[in-house]
Amino acid sequence: MKKLASLAALFVFLAGSAAFAQSASMPSLAGDLLALEKLNATWLNAYTTRDVAAVDSVLADEFEAIYPGEQVRKKADILKGMTNPANSITSIRWDNLKILVFGDVALVRGITHVAGTNPQGPFTSANDYADVYVKRAGTWRAVSAHVVRVQE
Structure confidence at residue 10 (pLDDT): 34
Give whole-number Cα distances, 48 to 12, 38, 69, 124, in Å.
55, 16, 23, 14
Partner residues linked to 131 by β-bridges: 108, 145
CATH number at 139 reads 3.10.450.50
Structure confidence at residue 107 (pLDDT): 99
Residue 119 placed within a domain: yes
Half-sphere exposure of 117 (CA within 13 A, CB side): 5
Tell me, what amino acid is at 36? L
Would you give per-residue pLDDT tens digits along the chain (152 residues)? 455 444 344 333 434 434 434 444 566 899 999 999 999 999 999 999 999 999 999 999 999 999 988 789 999 999 999 999 999 999 999 999 999 999 999 999 999 999 999 999 999 999 999 999 999 999 999 999 999 999 87
What is the span of the domain harbouring residue 87? 27-150
Given a contact cutoff of 8 angstroms between Cβ atoms, the answer to whether 104 and 136 are in contact is yes
Q: Total domain count for the chain?
A: 1
Residue 13 placed within a domain: no
> DSSP assignment, residue 78?
H
Residue 15 placed within a domain: no
Whole-model pTM: value is: 0.81
